[in-house]
Structures are given as structure tokens and as C-alpha cells.
A and B are shown apart, each in its own frame.
Chain A
Amino acid sequence: MGRLVLRRLLSIIPVLLFVSFAIFLLLALVPGDPAVTLAGGLTATPAEIARVRAQLHLNDPLLVQYWHWLTAALHGGLGTSLSTGQSVGSQIAARFPVTFGLVVAAAIVSLIVGIPLGILSGVRPGGSLDSGARSFSSLGLAVPSFWLGILLVSILAVHWRIFPSTGYTAITASFTGWLKDVTLPAVTLGVGVGATLARQLRASLIDALDTPYVRTAWAKGGTRRSVLLRHALKNASMPVVTIFGLQIGYLLGGAVIVEQIFSFPGLGTYMLSGITDHDLPVVQGVAVIFVLFQMAMSLLVDMSYSYLNPKVRVA
């Protein structure tokens, strides 16, 4: 287990180097002189431009610039926002819990939706429950999250007034307030991933139910419950966990849209403001955090995989 984690962490290093270089290049790739852009565009005075140039080491060769940027980033310095002058790092620290809470809540929604749906359709493929569950999954994959979010707001918040339409309460301020605010966004974000999980679970349950070990479980007198929910489900859950790991990226990316719809002060809205304000240090900083976030979540998923699959655990 420890060795597995260590091996995964080591394999992350070259990828992180590539990612950080790519993110660093965002600045260098901006058409025109980045110093002019960063100093405020066409209105910038030559003195301001020169100051930015020196501050960002823009006169150095590209790799040296990268080195400066990387060492600063490793010390938590993600630069300062061009539009507000605030430290990007501290802004991210303040906003991270919002996005984290939303993504975790959405992940829980996706499991609550996906697992029962997958079991229902996998246990009796071709039945009427299966057809219903499959249609629901197809819709869940096709309906854009932003449309679903808007419809939920329109029906549940505006029309029936069950939930607040937008806004955010910190979990530390009021848990019930947070729960109320986060429910609709989490459903919006989680349903699509839940549909993906349901499809995968259905397919792998059908496969598992066709195996010799499930036949053995029947032959030794297993109840339907023990065979389906213990032997078939545990084995079928492994590919589902893999898919879940791959879906985390969609949860994080989707969070950007959902935060925008529900006016959440999270990383996504921060990144969007960075893009509309041409505030590239903000975009860079948030991108770095999103990548680290995704890698950490994938690692967690991998570790749960080793719990489910004894062969991985021993290796």
C-alpha cells in the first residue's frame, strides 16, 4: 500500500513538470508583448512596462524565466492579480473550500444516483426498470449541466421556492445553510457523472453475473441478496471506481460552470474573472491548483481500488 502510493507519487513528477511548463507558457504564448498586456495594455507607460519586465524576469531566456516562476510557485507564490493587486495564492486559499465542498457534494450525488440505478438495470438487463434507468442515463449524459442547473433553479427555486436560487453560505458559518445552498449545484454537477457510473456499473454487473464465481455463489446456496450485492457487486465495482477516477476531471471542470450559474465564490468563478479581465496570473494559479486537485483525487480513488482488488494490494 505504502509502496503503491510512493510509486504513484513518483510517476506524477514528470507529468507535473510538463503541466507546469505548459501553464507557464500561457504567459509567453499570449500574442504581443506579455509585458505590455500585464502592465495594462495599450495605455501602459514605458516605465510600467519596464517594471513588469524586470519583475517577471522577462528579459531572461525562457527556461530561466520558467525556473523563477516554478521556484516561486513551489513556495506558494502564485503571483499577484493584475486587476486587484491581491495575492493569487491567498485568494485561492480562501476560495478552495467552496469548490472542494461543491465537488465532494456532487461526487456524493453522483454515487447516490449512479449506484442504485446501475444495480437496478444491471440485475435485470432488458427489463422495464432497465429501460427506464438506461433512458435516464442517456439523458443524464446528454443534458448540459448548465441547462439542468437553470431548469432546477427555475422550477425548484423560482417557482416552488424550495431552495435558494443562488448564493453561498460557508459551511463554517452554518451547516444547514451550506447544505441548502449546495444541494441544487451538487445535483446539477453530479447527475451527469452519476449517469456515467450507472452505465459502467450496469455493464460490469452483467459481466460479473456471468462468471464462474457467481455460479459458485448460487451453487452453494447463496440468497439473491448475497450473490448480487456481495459477490457480483464487489467485483463489478472495480471498473466503476476506475471510471469514477476519470470522471473527477469532469466534476472539477463542470464546477466552473455550476459556480457561475449559482454565483459561488469558488475557484471556477475566480478563473472566469481572470479570463474576462485578461488577468493571466490568476488563470495560471487556478489552473495549477485544479491540476493538483485532480491528481490528489485520482490518487485517493486509486487507493480505494487497492482496497477492492486484493491482487493490487499484495503487489
Chain B
Amino acid sequence: MTAVTGDVGLQDGKRPSLRGWWAEHQRLQRFLVHGGVLLSIAWVLLMIVFALFAPFIAPHDPNAQNLADTNAGISAGHWVGTDDLGRDVLSRLIYGAQSSMQVAFETVGLAMVLALLIGLVAGFRGGWIDYLLMRGADAGLAFPPLVLALAVVAVLGTSVNDTSFALAAVFAPGFARFVRGQTLAVREESFVEASTSIGTPPARIVIVRILPNVMTGLVVGIAIALGSAVLAESGLAFLGLGPPPPASGWGSMLQEAYDTSLFTHPWSLVPAGLTIALTVLAFNTIGDSLRDTISGAATKSRRQRGVKRQRGITAVARPAQPTPPVVLSQATGQPALLEVRDLSVEFQTDAGRVRVVDNVSFDVCEGKIVGLVGESGSGKTVSSLAVLRLLPSPPAQIVGGSIKFNGRDLFDMEFDELRRIRGRDIAMVFQDPLASLDPSFTVGYQLMEAIRLHEKVTRAAAKDRAAQLLEGVHIPDPAQRLSAYPHQLSGGMRQRVMIAMALSCHPRLLIADEPTTALDVTVQAQIVELLRELREKEDLAVLFVTHDLALISELSDEIVVMYAGQVVEHSPTADLFGRPLHPYTAALLAASPGIRTEADSHALIAGQVPQAGQFPSGCRFHPRCTYAEEACRTAPVELTLAAPDRQSRCRRVEELTLTGVGSEVAIRLGADPVGAS
């Protein structure tokens, strides 16, 4: 978090050109471009100018009465008309800015000084000083804000400065708490500890280190507080507790209009009220966009333009006729349960549209387990979420291909049609069971809901079935666990609940997205064992997404390897392990801790998966590939049939003989991957 004030403030010396300077300060741009901020700043500046130079700007004496010309409408002499005593309303508004602005800035300045003093001392000293100061702040916060101001005004009086004191007393406690909290947080950071240990005096640490950090957060609060102070000042004046006449505060103008002209000249209620509202609105707008700028929310909202917003279903915008490519299962001749063809997914980002999944095709046949393997960033999770169209739009959009389940294209479906397939025919298990279960509902409720969304059964029947489901995933005391909340269960239990929920309507396909990654090793083995058991019992097809080759080697019939958004190899499991057909697969095998390859190197793959949008030209794997030659760097490589049931995206697939795990398949299974080396 760097200070926003740094962007707005002075620049250090050189300023090559205004345009260059402007381009460099994206954050300032974002702040200013934000809706209405420029207008708001202009309005606030106008009010400040009014306050400072009222005698020079106001066309009339604000207190000059003209009983012959009372409650006049808009005219050349009186732009906003006159009030019940014939005084010029515009001039009174201009003079009214004096007390409003003075009170607002005095109040906030005073509250800041108090809050910084109290908050820094409390946060830095701790102990009983902290306790006393904070109970004092609590006491201040225990008052309804206006009541506290009224009590102080009752004692002090109603002049401009009294009002500022009263309102500062209202604002200071909340700010002091904030400053203390920030100070505590900053104090824990290593640089402050380091300064203390080398003997820097505390006061210096406070000023040099803590103050700038605290101020960043306070900037937003200051803007909002200025608006609130204007509101409160005019409120007090409206109650007759403002600066005494002939001062023309906005609040007292409104009160006079209310008392004298409510029934006769209702329009006289508008000018002062509108001026207050606009001023408060301006301060709030500035505060809000400062907050958005600091938190980056402004970028987010801009990023989401350009993709049709849909709730609960990924938007599809694909060309009319996808061409069917050569696909594996056509060779084996088995009808596929799930046919993924040429799937392409794009995300809307700051840098424009980025293709995250590029022409991915594979099948999952009835009762088979297919592994979808790759490092993080390879696009495997996005592909698996695209099946049930669970990627949020925006930013995601399916831009090509089709996914057919039982011959029906899921991308042609409306929400309601797809919803009936979700959870009933195709179910999902996610990576992090704690985050994926709703923390606010019991396990039983979530299980019963899964059943009752698809079948008309009574609550009691659903409850019985929920208990049976828990029993089916070997959770002890199932009837009792139904009333437990997710946070009361262990990690392994939670994932069992997720699996039970997925199986609640006897789906034909289960998509498991890294279902064991968040769990520790022994629990991983139990969950894999459970999945294998259930697959036998339920005759499930499974799409198993994972980065763990050792794990998938035990389970799957065939494996799809993804890299940088593309499929790079697709082979039956045993073939892939025996002789990989892509250097990336070979490297993955060599790098897997649970697998002993013939090379037995356990080398990490050099480099990282490139980010979407920054994929290299040619073969996307070439920068990390030990076998890359000149042609790999330039020409893109197609996925080709390398054997009757195998595909590879490598130009040199014919000439290379890559190292697999050998004929004896020396695979250390998921139960003991750590001892493998």
C-alpha cells in the first residue's frame, strides 16, 4: 500500500513532459476518471473560494433587507431570488459557505490531531495507557454522534469554534481507534522492530515510519468526515444551535425558510438544502473514489466491460460452425459420455482479452477415469469448470468449441436446462473443502438441498438419505454429523461430505478438481481409496484434474496433459508412463516426487508456466524444453496422432525417445510419496 497522496503530491524534480507525467501516474488517472470526481473537486473548490472571498463574490449584502421585495423569484438582480425578508438568497448561500467550510475543516483537522495523538500513543505504548485511552474512545463511541455534539454544545455554546470542538469530539474516537489499530499492525512489521532494536528513539519511529502508513488509510476517512461535518454543522444550525444571526449558515437558512415559508413559498426550501446535499455528495464522491483507487476496485469494474454479464452460467460467444477434429475415442469406437471439442475460453483482463484455454478436445467414456494433468496455470481447472459453465462471466467467456454430454451440447443450453444436469448427471468435487462448503449452513442442510434440488422428496426422506450418504463415505455417526457445521469437521471429513454431496443424485460423471490437494498425505490416500471404491460401486465416469502424476497413475484409464492452455499429450495411462510422447510429460514424470523414472533425476522443470497472454511463439513449451530446435521457436505445433490411440503436440515426436518409468512401473503410490526419494 503506497500513499495515494504521493501521486497527488509534489514530484521529485524532473518533469520531462506533462503527457509523460500523466501517463506515469495511472493511479491518479484512475482516481480522476472515476465518475464525477472532477465535478466534485470543482464544487468543493468553489465552496472554499466562496468561503474565503465571500465579500468580493457576493452580489449583495447578505443581511440587507428589502421588505418590498420578499420571496421574489429568480430575476436578473437576484439569481436565486430573495427570502422572506427580501434578502438575496445567492449572497446568503455564498456567505453560508464561510461557517460550513470553516467548521468542516476545523473539525476534521482538530479530530485528526486528537486522534493521531491518542491513537499513536495508545498503539505504541500499550499497557494501561492503551487501556485507559481506548475505554475513553469507547465511551465517546457509546454516544449517538449528534447527542454527544449536543451535549458539548450545551456546555460550550454555539459559536463557530464551539461547533468545531463539539464535532471534533464526535469524530476523534473513531479515528483514534483506527490509528491505534494501524499503529499496532505497523509496529509488528519487521522494519519497526529493527529500528527499535538499533536504538532509534520511539518518537522518531512514530514520525518517520508509522505516520505515513497510517495517513494512507486516513485519507479516505478525512474526505468522508468533511462531508459528515458539513452535514452535522448544518444540522446543529437547523436546530437553532448554530452561529447566532446575522450569520447566514445554510442550516439556519433552511430553518428560517421552514418556519416562515413552508405553506406560502415551498420553493424557498430548495436552495439551502440543495447546497448542503451537493457539498456532502461532493465530499463523499471524492472519498469513495479515493477508497476505490487505493483498493484497486476501479480497475476491476473497468476490466469487466466487454463480456456479457450472466449470473451462474458462463457466457458463450462462439463461431457458428465448429469443425470436428480427430479425437481419440473415435478410434476405440466407444460412445463417449462427455465430448469436449475445440474448447476455447477467454478472460477479460486489464491487458485485453486473454485466451486461457485453446482448442482443447478430449472424451470421457462411460465408467472410465480420465486424468487431466498439468502445472498450475496450464488451464486444466478452467477446462474442467467450463464443462458445467461454472466460470463467472465476466471475466470469462467461452469463445469456441462444444461440450456434449450424452450427445446434447451444454453450450446451447439455457440456465434452467443446464441447472438440471448440474449435480444430477454431472457432479463436481472441488479443491478446498472448507472454502467450498457454505459456512453458514449445516452439513445436513447442504446435503438435503442437493437432493431436493433435483428430486421431489419430503424433508424427512431427504434427511434419511443424507445420513445414508454420509455413511456411504464412511463418516462415523452420520445422523449426528448432519447437524454439524463445516468448520466443526476435519479436513478429510469435509472432503468426504463434498463427495457425498456430489454423489447424492447418483451422477454418471464426476468432475474432481484437485480433490486431495488441500489435504495432508495420509488423508489424501484415504480420499483416493474412497473415490476408487465409489467408482466401482456407482459405475461412475470421472474426470480427475490434478498436478500429481503419482496419484493419477493409480486411478486413471487415460491421461490428458495440458500446458499453457493446450493439450500437449493424450495417451492411455500405462503407455504414457512407459514412454511419454512429449518432452513436457517426460519432464513432469521426472519431476514427480512419487515416481521413480529410469533417469531418476527428480529434476524440477526449469522455468515457469508462462502466463496467459504471454505465451511464447512456436511451441509454447520450447523455452523450457531440452530438446527444442530452431523450428520449435517459430512455427506453432499441431496436435497429431502419434499412435492409434495417442496424440502429441511435438514436432520431434518421431525422432525422440523419451524416458518413462520403465517396464516394471516403479511407481510409489500416493500413500507414500515422501519416502520415494
Contacts and interface: CB of A to CB of B under 8 A. Distances in A.
Contacts of B498: 216
A214 B277 CA distance: 39
B410 interface: no
A29 interface: yes
Interface string B467-493: 000000000000000000101100000
Given A220-B422, A287-B143, A159 B453 contact: no
A245 B146 CA distance: 16
A216 B424 CA distance: 13
Given A144-B273, A221-B420, A250 B145 contact: yes
Interface string B422-458: 1110011010100111111110000001100110000
B424 A235 contact: no
A219 B388 contact: yes
B262 interface: yes
B239 A314 contact: no
Contacts of A248: 144
Contact of B262 (A29, A153, A215, A231): A153
Interface in A1-56: 14-16, 18-19, 22-23, 26, 29-30
Interface centre among B141, B144, B145, B423 (most CB of A within 10 A): B144
B142 A144 contact: no
Interface string A224-248: 1011100100110000000000001
A213 B301 contact: no
Contacts of A254: 146
Contact of A14 (B135, B227, B262): B135
Interface residues of B, number: 83
Contacts of A251: 144
B208 interface: no
A107 interface: no
A290 B143 contact: yes
A146 interface: yes
B266 A274 contact: no
B534 interface: no
Given A29-B155, A123-B311, A218-B312, A252 B430 contact: no
A309 B440 contact: yes
A271 B419 CA distance: 59
Contacts of B148: 287
B238 A257 contact: yes
B427 A220 contact: yes
A294 B154 contact: no
A173 interface: no
Nearest to B422: A221
Interface string A196-224: 00000000000001111101111111111
B309 A291 contact: no
A116 interface: no
B84 to A, nearest CB: 15
Contacts of B311: 123-124, 209, 224, 228
Contacts of B149: 253
A141 B311 CA distance: 29
Contacts of B392: 209-210
B262 A158 contact: yes
A279 to B, nearest CB: 9
B241 A138 contact: no
Given A124-B311, A139-B277, A154-B269, A217 B150 contact: no
B235 interface: yes
Given A212-B435, A213-B437, A218-B422, A311 B146 contact: no
Interface centre among A209, A218, A291 (most CB of B within 10 A): A218
B181 interface: no
B284 to A, nearest CB: 6
A251 B147 CA distance: 11
Contact of A216 (B154, B436, B453, B485): B436
B647 interface: no
Given A213-B438, A254-B146, A26 B151 contact: yes
Contacts of A16: 142
Contacts of A18: 135-136, 138-139
B142 A142 contact: no
Contacts of A162: none
Contacts of A280: 154
B147 A126 contact: no
Interface in A108-167: 123-127, 138-139, 141-147, 150-151, 153-155, 158-159
Nearest to A222: B453
Contacts of B38: none
A213 B390 CA distance: 12
Contacts of B450: 220-221
A150 B254 contact: yes
B147 A256 contact: yes
A219 B423 contact: yes
9 contacts: A15-B138, A18-B139, A26-B151, A211-B435, A221-B453, A231-B441, A253-B146, A276-B240, A310-B439
Interface of B: 135-136, 138-139, 141-151, 153-155, 227, 231, 234-235, 238-241, 251, 254, 258, 262-263, 266, 269, 272-273, 276-278, 280-281, 284-285, 301, 304-305, 309, 311-313, 388, 390, 392, 415-416, 419-424, 427-428, 430, 432, 435-442, 449-450, 453-454, 485, 487-488, 498, 501-502, 504
The list of the 7 closest CB pairs from A to B, nearest first, reads A253-B146, A147-B273, A221-B423, A18-B139, A252-B144, A142-B281, A220-B423
Given A153-B262, A224-B415, A257-B235, 14 more contacts: A19-B143, A123-B311, A142-B277, A210-B392, A212-B435, A220-B453, A221-B454, A224-B311, A235-B440, A256-B146, A280-B154, A290-B144, A295-B142, A310-B439
Interface of A: 14-16, 18-19, 22-23, 26, 29-30, 123-127, 138-139, 141-147, 150-151, 153-155, 158-159, 209-213, 215-224, 226-228, 231, 234-235, 248-254, 256-257, 260-261, 271-272, 274-276, 278, 280, 283, 286-287, 290-291, 293-295, 308-311, 314
